[in-house]
Structure 1
Amino acid sequence: MTTGLLIVVLVAVFFGAIAQRIAGLGFALLISPFLVILLGSHGGVLMVNVCGLVSSAMIMFRVKKDIDWSMYRWLAIPAVCGSIPASVAAVYLPAAPMAVVVGVIVLVALTVSLLMQRTPVTVTGNAPKAVAGFVAGVTNAVAGVGGPAVSAYALMARWPQRQFAATLQPFFVTIALVTLTSKLSLDASQMPPFAAWAWALVALMIIIGIYAGEKLQRFIRDDQARAAVVILAFFGAAAALVKGIFDLAA
């Protein structure tokens, strides 16, 4: 781990934490493609889950009064069912195809999320919640990105933003824990080889990013924050996809 690489990782984590605090999601969308490029497919996705777990746990206690626990259960239980087999499969996928998969999943998820914002369709009932949770569990395990599926559901169900952002925090904690436990129990060597002081810096950047996000939140509308996250994530996902294709061709 070179100093330059660590600095880039820390900057990505910092901005990801800001996005997570302002919009309720965006951490994984923003940093997953970049960390896959920097740390490799397996290490990058694990790093996203570690950082997402820490940031969501911190935010969760600050927004707990707005959490819809009934909604959480309908999302989280199917997500666990999807996350475990997907985590096992992801451990044995080679790095180059994984980079392509990450890039494609993020690009498709972003596109679907954008299209959902313009649809007049409204979904009701528990089945769509369960489907959204299951898909989020699978995509989080494979690409470190669980937000777009539940975001698309929230848009189509007209889920209020405050409850949506708050409820996603324990949801992200759950799927990150399941994914990390499943993958590391099979192959602990996939974890990025950071020294203890480097992990401490990562945690510090998350704390500072959350604090900065809280200060910025009063000046930035949710739609503006999400737009910025989407733009950056598109570039990152495209870069991860191109890298994976070049690695496959090499």
Structure 2
Amino acid sequence: MTGPDTLAVAAVALGAFAQAATGMGFSLIAAPALIAAVGPHRGVPTVLLLAVLASLLPLSRDWRHTRPRDTGRLLLPTLLFTPVAARLLAAVDTRLLAVAAGLGVLVGVALLARGLRSAFLRRPAGAWISGLGSAGLNVIGGVGGPPIGLYAANAGWPAREARATLHAFFLVQNVATAVVLGVVLPSWPAVAALAVGAATGMALSPRLSPTATRGGVLAVSCVGALALIGTAL
């Protein structure tokens, strides 16, 4: 494998570990490296399909802890807006949008890390804003995690329920986005790396406290925001 391919495979393993351990993070970590290796037209669909697997593996164990009502509340605006976003953004230079979204996520992470609790995010309108933002970012670069991560970190869910709910959300979202954008099969080294990373994360996730899980979600959201800004500039 070439240097970019090796980096992409390593990013897939690390992303799968983060996804299994915290409930999110696969696309945020893996997408920049995969897109750099194969280009955006193949990279984004590849990220989406791998992200489905990254959520499916841990969810197969923890599905009983999913919060169905909260999952549905976030999925409704996401699924409704995904095809609209794909049409609206098809001919738009998304770099400025990515930078703006990244900066917004960084501000949100900083506020939540300082202990902010937003009553707005607990309302139906907060779920709609989070879902719409996630749909747009997933279409732009396969990285719909930060708005949902901020919502989950603010919600105060128990750690295991938070992970399972995030897995369920991202599983459905990424299937829907892949249907809209098209499917590209990943390479076998990427799939193998994903399996290793997910298994490691699943083994460690029961040892994580709610505080550690929340911190992990915020950290991954921050990394994803910086990656959005970096790849757009």
Instruction: Report TM bin, short chain.
Output: 0.7 to 0.9
Deviation of 1:34 after TM superposition, in Å, equals 3.0
Instruction: Report the Cα distance in structure 2 between the residues aligned to 1:125 and 1:76, rounded to whole angstroms.
Output: 15
Aligned pairs for 1:72-221 (under 5 A) are: 72-93=71-92, 97-99=93-95, 101-117=97-113, 118-123=115-120, 124-184=122-182, 191=184, 199-217=187-205, 221=212
Which range moved further: 109-118 or 206-215? 109-118
Q: CA deviation at 1:48?
A: 2.0
Give me the CA root mean square deviation: 2.6
- Measure, in 1, the Cα distance between the counterparts of 2:215 and 2:129: 28
- State whether residues 31 and 233 of structure 1, in contact with CA within 8 Å, keep that contact through their aligned partners in structure 2: no
CA distance in 2, matches of 1:12, 1:41: 16
Separation of aligned partners in 2, 1:227 and 1:153: 10
How far has the Cα of 1:89 moved from its partner? 3.4
Paired amino acid for 1:18: F
Matched residue type, 1:121: S
Deviations 1:144-202 (A, max 9, x none): 12221122222333333322221111211111111111112xxx7xx4xx7xxx62221
Unaligned runs of 5+ in 2: none
Q: Is the contact made by 1:49 and 1:176 (CA closer than 8 Å) also made in structure 2?
A: yes
Structure-1 residue corresponding to 2:228: 237
8 Å contact 1:122–1:158 — kept in the other structure? no
In 1, Cα distance between the equivalents of 2:152 and 2:15? 21
The AA in structure 1 aligned to 2:116 is T
Question: Cα–Cα, structure 1 residues 70 and 226, in superposed 2: closer, same or farther, change >3 Å?
Answer: closer
Which residue in 2 is equivalent to 1:25? 24
What is the CA distance between 1:120 and its match in structure 2?
A: 3.4
Q: Cα 1:40–1:109, aligned 2, differ >3 Å: closer, same or farther?
A: farther
Shift in alpha-carbon separation, 1:99–1:46, aligned structure 2, 3 A = farther
- When structure 1 is superposed on structure 2, of 143-152 and 41-50 the one drifting more is 41-50
Alpha-carbon shift at residue 106 of structure 1 (Å): 3.5
- TM-score under structure 2 normalisation? 0.83
1:25 aligned counterpart, secondary structure: coil
- SS of residue matched to 1:62: helix
Taking the aligned partners of 1:223 and 1:155, their CA distance within structure 2 comes to 6
Separation in 1, partners of 2:38, 2:94: 12
Shift of 1:119: 1.2
Change (3 A) 1:111 1:30: farther
TM-score, normalized by length of structure 1?
Answer: 0.78
Q: Pick which of 83-92 and 165-174 moved more.
A: 83-92
The 1:231/1:152 distance shift into structure 2, 3 A limit, reads closer
- Does 2:61 correspond to 1:37? no
Q: List 4+ stretches of structure 1 deviating above 4 A.
A: none
1 CA distance for matches of 2:123 and 2:58? 28
Distance 2:157 2:206 in 1: 21
Contact 2:11 2:30 in 1 (8 A): yes
